[in-house]
């Protein structure tokens, strides 16, 4: 193995930004999409997931395979302005929730 390998990068420690973080609610840290795995107040360290499939609120018009963004409350079409890149749906959003794969 290469001597400069650090880790697989699936979960990493981060410092909570202004407003803190809520477990399971996606945030952006720079260009990274991160799903916090625990609650943390501003300035506290937390573990964030950088990949995986997450069940999240979603616009009901979105179909499996759609590219999506996170608007702070739900997954929306990737053409939505003022929303952050998230990834791709792996299930339909018809129920108001969908499973989505984080794509960095």
Locate 22 and state its tokens: 């809520």
pTM listed for this prediction: 0.93
What is the structure's pLDDT at 23? 98
What is the structure's pLDDT at 70? 97
Q: Which of 42, 66, 39, 56 lies closest to 99, judged by CA? A: 56
Walk along the chain (104 residues) in steps of 10 and give the mean pLDDT of each run: 91 97 97 97 98 97 97 97 97 97 97
Locate 97 and state its tokens: 């929730």
Domain boundaries, the chain: 11-49, 53-102
What is the structure's pLDDT at 1? 72
Locate 3 and state its tokens: 């001597």
What is the structure's pLDDT at 29? 95
Give the neighbor-by-neighbor strand order of the sheet with 32-36.
Answer: 11-15, 45-49, 32-36, 27-29
């Amino acid at each position: 193995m290469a001597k400069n390998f650090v880790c697989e990068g699936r979960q990493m420690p981060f410092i909570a930004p202004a407003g803190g973080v809520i477990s399971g609610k996606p945030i952006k840290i720079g260009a990274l999409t991160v799903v916090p795995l625990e609650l943390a107040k501003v300035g506290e360290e937390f573990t964030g997931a950088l990949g995986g499939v997450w069940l999240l609120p979603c616009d009901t018009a979105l179909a499996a395979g759609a590219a999506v963004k996170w608007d702070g409350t739900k997954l929306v079409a990737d053409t939505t302005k003022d929303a952050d890149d998230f990834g791709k749906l792996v299930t339909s959003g018809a129920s108001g929730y969908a499973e989505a794969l984080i794509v960095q």
